[in-house]
Amino acid sequence: MTTDDLRATAAALAEHALELPELAHARTVAAYVSVGGEPGTPALLDALHARGVRVLLPALLPDNDLDWGAYTGEGSLARVRHGGRMTLLEPAGERLGVDAVSEADVVLLPGLAVDARGMRLGRGGGSYDRVLARLDAAGARPALVVLLYDTEVVPRVPAEPHDRPVQAVVTPSGVRRFT
């Protein structure tokens, strides 16, 4: 996609996501900063912050688990290089601990695809599998929403017994809910 395409899809994604009732009533949202060709999240993060929502962003730990920090605007992000693997934008401020995600009313998840059952295919690092297991262990039941492109909604993805379905997928063309 061109830069203009990426910008347009990010704007559409943010517009549809912000219409979700779950986000309209959320006090705390765990999200992420998109990288590379992922559907863009900065406009959505800024809109949530402007609404007064507490936005938590992940910081990748050496064991692929996720710590969390608060997003207070673009200036609250730092570029962090993780070995030879990747550079991510992460919260520059205080780390809140791996359990901070349990305070979220909504968790916005990255992914490679989602299927008709709401099963999400991640990148294979297990970071979000740990997050979802931590939420289960804490008895937390936030809404789980994956942000994808329309072409990433597919008939079926592989699933393992520990995988949890999402309640909805937001794409540039709209929202699809799963039962």
Asked whether residue 128 is marked as a ligand-binding residue, the answer is: yes
Asked whether residue 127 is marked as a ligand-binding residue, the answer is: yes
Asked whether residue 73 is marked as a ligand-binding residue, the answer is: no
Whole-angstrom distance, CA of residue 176 vs CA of residue 38 = 18
The structural domain count of the chain equals 1
Asked whether residue 123 is marked as a ligand-binding residue, the answer is: yes
The confidence score (pLDDT) of residue 123 equals 82
Instruction: Note down the domain range covering 65.
Output: 3-177
Instruction: Pick the closest to residue 132 from 30, 55, 49, 63 (CA basis).
Output: 30
pLDDT tens for each residue of 49-66: 999 999 999 999 999 999
Whole-angstrom distance, CA of residue 123 vs CA of residue 60 = 14
The CATH number given to whatever domain includes residue 72 is 3.40.50.10420
Asked whether residue 121 is marked as a ligand-binding residue, the answer is: yes
The confidence score (pLDDT) of residue 90 equals 94
Asked whether residue 169 is marked as a ligand-binding residue, the answer is: no
Asked whether residue 122 is marked as a ligand-binding residue, the answer is: yes
Is residue 5 predicted with pLDDT exceeding 90?
Answer: no
Whole-prediction pTM? 0.94
The confidence score (pLDDT) of residue 33 equals 95
Asked whether residue 33 is marked as a ligand-binding residue, the answer is: yes
The confidence score (pLDDT) of residue 1 equals 77
The confidence score (pLDDT) of residue 157 equals 96
Asked whether residue 124 is marked as a ligand-binding residue, the answer is: yes
